[in-house]
Amino acid sequence: MESMSKSKRSTEEKAATRSRKGVGGRPSKYDPAKTPEQAYKLCLLGATDKELADFFGVAESTLNKWKIDYPEFSEALNRGKVEADARVAHSLYHRALGYEHPDTDIRVVNGEVVITPTIKRYPPDTAAAIFWLKNRQRGKWRDKIEHDHGVQPDMSMSPMRIEIVAPSLKNEDAKG
């Protein structure tokens, strides 16, 4: 009798737990203590949603559900992606304009180590400048390819002359 009431209680407890969660099934891989911070750090490294899903061992659809169900997770992703993009944009900007930074030259001269502070300079990078301008000022710097398909602004076709060149049937009949 006790075992029956014990199993009945555990069944009731399970049902209560399910109703609180919404559905039964496998426990979530989401850990509120770790997952947002891990996701933030992965985003700083440039991880995509697919790569994040692979890291956490879930499908992308689960990752998208976590974004909805856990606001702290979504915020961590956005914060990491924005910071990473800003760092890349900053680096691209400096690369496009050229930049300099302090450096140290270390040499051995006459058996002694000589440390000399220097300034290392990098010239502007044309490819970085073009990339920057094409993305920031598309109207002025985009690669513009014009295609003329004979369509007028009012969507009518411009007149075309079409000639069909075919052998004369009379000449073919006369030869045969």
Model confidence pLDDT, tens digit, residues 87-100: 999 999 999 999 99
pTM over 0.85: no
Sorting pLDDT into bands at 50, 70 and 90, what band is 27? confident
What average pLDDT does the segment 53-71 reach? 94
What average pLDDT does the segment 27-37 reach? 91
What is the 8-class DSSP label of residue 121?
Answer: E
Rounded Cα distance, 61 and 81, in Å? 19
> Which carries the bigger pLDDT value, residue 171 or residue 53?
53
